[in-house]
Amino acid sequence: MKEICKKISNVLKTIFGYGIMVSLFAGGLTFFGYVAALIIGGDVATAICTVIYKDIFPVIIYLAVSMVLLGLVAMYLGGEVALTPEKKKAKKHEGEV
């Protein structure tokens, strides 16, 4: 069962990686859309900003949130324990008693 979970985890991590890359790239492109709107100005700039805000941002947000959820599922299927603190023993240096 562990091997199957590891294989599923590897596939999900690959999908997660590409999905996050796409969402970050799309978010970066919206920056250039706003810069173009700033340069153009007027009613056209208002239309560009409205399209970016109402049509593109929701898709990017849903994509990023679903990819983060997919990444967490992949981590737990792979046996990685995320978001939990670890207790580490303090190492004493040679000069300490």
Q: Evaluate whether 89 touches 45 at the Cβ level (below 8 Å).
A: no
Residue 69 belongs to a domain: yes
Tens digit of each residue's pLDDT (9 = 90 or more) over 32-62: 999 999 999 899 999 999 999 999 999 999 9
Residue 31 token pair = 């920056």
Tens digit of each residue's pLDDT (9 = 90 or more) over 20-36: 999 999 999 999 999 99
Number of domains in the chain: 1
Residue 88 belongs to a domain: no
DSSP state of 53: I
Residue 83 belongs to a domain: no
Which string of DSSP letters, residue by residue, matches 10-23?
A: HHHHHHHHHHHHHH
- The SS3 of residue 42 is helix
Residue 90 belongs to a domain: no
Quote the pLDDT of residue 10. Answer: 87
| pTM assigned to the model | 0.71
Phi-psi region of 91 (alpha: psi -120 to 50; beta: other; left: phi over 0): beta
Residue 85 belongs to a domain: no
Residue 71 token pair = 């990444």
DSSP state of 38: H
Domain that holds residue 26: 2-77
Residue 16 belongs to a domain: yes
90 pLDDT exceeds 80?
A: no
Residue 96 belongs to a domain: no
- Tell me the C-alpha distance between 90 and 97, whole Å: 13
Residue 11 belongs to a domain: yes
